[in-house]
Amino acid sequence: MNLHLVRTHWLSKLGLLAVAVMIAAGALLYPAPAQAHCDSTNGPVVEAARQALAKGDVELVLPYVKADAEAELTAAFDHAREVRKLGPEARELADTFFFETAVRLHRMGEGAAYTGLKQDVEFGPALESAEAALVSGELEGVYAVLDEAMRESIDAKYAAIEAARAHAEEEQTVAAQRERVEAELIFETYVHDLYTAIVGQDARAEVTAEAAPAAAGHSH
């Protein structure tokens, strides 16, 4: 039995659980940037809808909705264009109606609920760097943001290991050693999750395939 593969197999299982926990925690603590990116008045869907109205070309926003929603969005576009002719107040109402329709249909295509337009959301450094890259074609800002965040998080987790090791050496107790082990496993699992998040499903499938023979040969 290959103990390394068995350990990798279980670390992978722990990693998937950790990812689920982190995603759930992130959704609770930081919902606005990720969830409101396409729902906001300064997001890509509304910006495309705004350009469509300005240039009289609905095809500028159609890519943001599924094919089966094109007819509804086009009808809303035509209606908004007619109402806009009635004056400034009507124009504002027509624009908002079209923006809301575009975002609602976009969210529906994602299988997500529409909860209304969000006003000028702060997206955070990651999304902002991604948006800037789409405009400039330069990725250095994205690399810098991700690298800084990754290094800070890894450094903090390794610092926790060093502190736990020093504490365990001083105390010489099982409880202190247990804290050391926990800190080490958190660090390993975090690095593993970062890697699999970067390389995608192929790496997770590869790890599972490698671990499967060892796990299948293990009996309780």
Radius of gyration for the alpha carbons in the chain, expressed in angstroms and rounded: 25
Q: Residue 34 — very low, low, confident or very high, per pLDDT cuts 50/70/90?
A: low
- pLDDT above 90 coverage of the chain, percent: 56
**Residue 202 contacts residue 3 (beta carbons within 8 Å):** no
More confident residue, 217 or 67: 67
CA–CA distance, 3 with 102 (Å, rounded to integer): 53
For residue 68, how many other CB atoms are within 10 A of its CB?
A: 10
Whether residue 80 has pLDDT greater than 50: yes
**Residue 86 contacts residue 54 (beta carbons within 8 Å):** no
More confident residue, 168 or 212: 168
0.85 exceeded by pTM: no
Whether residue 4 has pLDDT greater than 90: no
Instruction: Please give the mean pLDDT across all residues of the chain.
Output: 80
CA–CA distance, 63 with 130 (Å, rounded to integer): 19
Whether residue 148 has pLDDT greater than 60: yes
Q: Residue 25 — very low, low, confident or very high, per pLDDT cuts 50/70/90?
A: very low
Query: What's the pLDDT at 66?
Result: 95
The residue extents of the domains of the chain are 3-32+137-216, 38-120
More confident residue, 217 or 144: 144
* CA angle (22, 166, 19) in 5-degree steps: 10
Whether residue 127 has pLDDT greater than 50: yes
Q: Residue 207 — very low, low, confident or very high, per pLDDT cuts 50/70/90?
A: low
Whether residue 43 has pLDDT greater than 70: yes
More confident residue, 29 or 101: 101
Whether residue 144 has pLDDT greater than 70: yes
Whether residue 86 has pLDDT greater than 70: yes
Query: What's the pLDDT at 219?
Result: 42
Query: What's the pLDDT at 1?
Result: 40
